Amino acid sequence: MTDGPSYGFDTLQIHAGARPDPATGARQTPIYQSTAFVFRDADHAAALFNLQEVGYIYSRLTNPTVAVLQERIATLEGGVGAVCCSSGHAAQIMALFPLMSPGKNVVASTRLYGGTVTQFSQTIKRFGWSATFVDFDDLDAVKAAINDDTRAVFCEAIANPGGYITDLDAISAISDAAEVPLIVDNTSATPYLCRPIEHGATLVVHSTTKYLTGNGTVTGGCVVDSGKFDWTANDKFPSLSAPEPAYHGLKFAETFGPLAFTFHGIAIGLRDLGMTMNPQAAHYTLMGIETLSLRMERHVENAQKVAAWLETDPRVDYVTYAGLPSSPYYDRVKKICPRGAGGLFTVAIKGGYEACVKLVDNLEIFSHVANLGDTRSLIIHSASTTHRQLSAEQQEAAGAGPNVVRISIGIEDADDLIADLDQALAKATA
């Protein structure tokens, strides 16, 4: 189909990137479970390897099933292209890889998933990169943290675990002034609730494992390219603006224009890092995206109802859901996430750590897992699991203190979820 402006989100989430299989007429995108693809002739093979023609070579680089998913996510996000990979963590490295080099840094929000904080504060040091963590509600601090060695600004649209909403317009204004790209993790919001590119993001990353797939079956990641950043405006990004030795001096920005980052992600990133998404995972995610808007509407509806009930419960200290009028981010929801504040938030339980553990152990409908964005309602005690590697100060800054549980509200009957929380809270605070 032609993805024109006349098509709405609900149509694009089903049709974007997908066409009937030319060989069989199959309506659903087939799983092309093949490692390699036959070339027409020697000239065709040479043209593909020299980036003179687009096509399929080897599934570490390109695969027809994965290509449909890439086009669909890029379309829903309003980007020009996308690169899918093996996980959300892989997507973050893939996003940074063309931008960074030894001695360079990324300015990151303190309100990030604990695994991201660990990846940025520890693992990327092995590449000679570094991260500076800043409270992104303090715009002056964000400006001050950016220096001559900064190559990216990174945040989450709806922060995991607390559900905090980032003022993307304000942050993108700062990154634009500094001439560095803004990378936004849109996992918790999905393009149905928030389209970061419309708020100035250069790149959007996803853990497709979560809401995009929605059924807890496969891991995956994606990097979406806005196509709007001028990689040649200065000499900060030679991987994209300078001659590439591996392709006989080709300049990605000059050759591919708005798609420079996308082509680099495939031709260099997937080629050398090998963080490939397998075609079956892409198939499951494509199937999940077909119902994304329907699921997100129910996630938001249920989260609003459950969070409002929890906030009035005397056994609860506070609830961080941005959709509540009491939230400091309530007014920001309308600007950044006009369709709702998502399905993720934290709850502080009276009784602290011990009460949190008892709550988790006594729930019946909620699943105790290290995941979010599933059709099922999920719960975890972040301080002892997903954020365990962080210091106490980092845990508090991320909204994952010892007295807090993270809740990912599913699409079950909201009254059943409330009843389950009620009986578990009774046991946890007895």
pLDDT tens-place string over residues 108-122: 999 999 889 999 999
Percent of the chain with pLDDT over 70: 98
Reported as a single tens digit per residue, the pLDDT across 279-331 is: 999 999 999 999 999 999 999 999 999 999 999 999 999 999 999 999 999 99
- Answer whether 277's CB lies under 8 Å from 265's CB: no
DSSP 241-252: HS-BGGGTTB-H
Span 9-99+181-288: which CATH code?
Answer: 3.40.640.10
Reported as a single tens digit per residue, the pLDDT across 403-419 is: 899 999 999 999 999 99
Q: What is the pLDDT of residue 422?
A: 98
Report d(CA 78, CA 327) in Å as an integer: 29
Mean pLDDT for the chain? 95
* Overall average pLDDT of the 62-68 stretch: 97
Residue 182 parent element (H or E): strand 182-185
Q: How far apart are the first and last CA of the chain?
A: 59
Q: Given a cut of 60, is residue 11 above it in pLDDT?
A: yes
Q: What is the pLDDT of residue 3?
A: 46
Q: Given a cut of 80, is residue 389 above it in pLDDT?
A: no
* Overall average pLDDT of the 167-192 stretch: 98
Q: What is the pLDDT of residue 388?
A: 67
Per domain, the residue ranges of the chain are 9-99+181-288, 292-428
Q: Given a cut of 60, is residue 252 above it in pLDDT?
A: yes
Domain 292-428 CATH class label: alpha beta
The number of beta carbons lying within 10 Å of the beta carbon of residue 424 is 20
DSSP 33-53: --SB---SSHHHHHHHHTTSS
Percent of the chain with pLDDT over 90: 90
Q: Given a cut of 90, is residue 217 above it in pLDDT?
A: yes
- Answer whether 425's CB lies under 8 Å from 362's CB: no
Q: Given a cut of 60, is residue 138 above it in pLDDT?
A: yes
